[in-house]
Amino acid sequence: MAIHPSRTFILRKLHQLSGIVPLGVFLLEHFYTNSKAMLGSEAFNQAVTDIQNIPYILLIEIFGIFIPLIYHAVYGLVITWEMRPNNLHYPYARNWFYLIQRITGIILFFFITFHVLNFRFGLIPGLNDLAVATHPDQAFYIVSREFQMPVIFVIYIIGITATVWHLANGLWLFLVDWGIIIGPSAQRAIGYACLAVGAVLLFVGLNAAVAFIRPGGLLGGIIY
Ligand code: HEM
């Protein structure tokens, strides 16, 4: 007798996969481009220009980023809505991680909406009427001018930290749920590895943000 996976099972697996590919992979590319800010405004503007010159960039953005992101975000909110938080009953780290994965998801929903409207489309009234994507020659200036505002900078620090946590813990969830890492000791070891990946990503993400307001980033350009 053939076994047919349920619709929920397939939607759930697609949700998990979309968090890694393409969203997680896109985040790595995004942090890489942002890190060009450590080399100064010209290098960053050139990196944005190069991206805008990629053939079929609009189609890549729509099908490779926006559609998977909307799917992952909306289905993620449905999962969060249906959740049964049991971390208050069992004091295990994994129960807290379950809750934090959902809280960071909600933060990301608001943060990414703001971020995309702000820098991709220049649509936040009173804050930014220039879109970075359509003004690559002024990209560094647009970001740097906004990051001088403490409220905006703090929003980005929170957004970057929530994103990195969500991806690092999500990577562990994915590896375990897809049966790639089996057995308690292997899962514990991979847990530490994901934590290390998260720590490196957090440094890279925050360092890139700081580079827009301090030449060279956190370490003043000692490490490029
Ligand atoms: C935009 C708002 C977002 C919301 C509301 C959201 C929500 C969620 C939720 C609730 C889960 C847990 C699913 C479960 O336990 O079964 C999850 C998992 C995950 N998310 Fe997100 N997420 C968002 C954005 C992102 C982004 C931008 C990335 C990538 C950088 C990402 C990567 C992941 C990964 C890798 C997982 C783990 C997949 C798994 O459970 O196996 N998410 N997300």
- Residues 172-179 have a mean pLDDT of 97
Residue 154 lies in a domain: yes
- Residues 118-127 have a mean pLDDT of 91
- Say how far apart CA 211 and CA 220 lie, in whole Å: 8
102 CA distance to ligand 1 middle (Å): 8
Residue 168, pLDDT > 90, answer: yes
42 CA distance to ligand 1 middle (Å): 34
Residue 222, pLDDT > 90, answer: no
Domain count, the chain: 1
Judge if the beta carbon of residue 136 lies within 6 A of ligand 1.
no
Residue 54 lies in a domain: yes
pLDDT at 129: 81
Residue 50 lies in a domain: yes
Which of 75, 111, 166, when mutated, tests ligand 1's pocket best, judged by the most ligand atoms within 8 Å of its CB?
Answer: 166
Can you give the length of the chain in residues?
224
Residue 220 lies in a domain: no
Residue 215 lies in a domain: no
163 CA distance to ligand 1 middle (Å): 9
Which SS3 state, helix, strand or coil, does residue 80 take? helix
Domain that holds residue 90: 7-210
Q: Quick check: 141 and 1 in contact, CB under 8 A?
A: no
Query: Using DSSP, how many helices (H) and how many strands (E) does the chain show?
Result: 9, 0
Residue 17 lies in a domain: yes
Residue 219, pLDDT > 70, answer: yes
Residue 42, pLDDT > 80, answer: yes
Among 39, 49, 41, 65, smallest CA distance to 207 is for 39
Residue 218 lies in a domain: no
- Say how far apart CA 174 and CA 203 lie, in whole Å: 23
pLDDT in tens, 184-206: 999 999 999 999 999 999 999 99
Measured on CA atoms in the order 28, 164, 58, 41, is the torsion positive or negative? negative
CATH number at residue 187: 1.20.1300.10
Q: How confident is the model at residue 218 (pLDDT cuts 50, 70, 90)?
A: very high
Residue 105 lies in a domain: yes
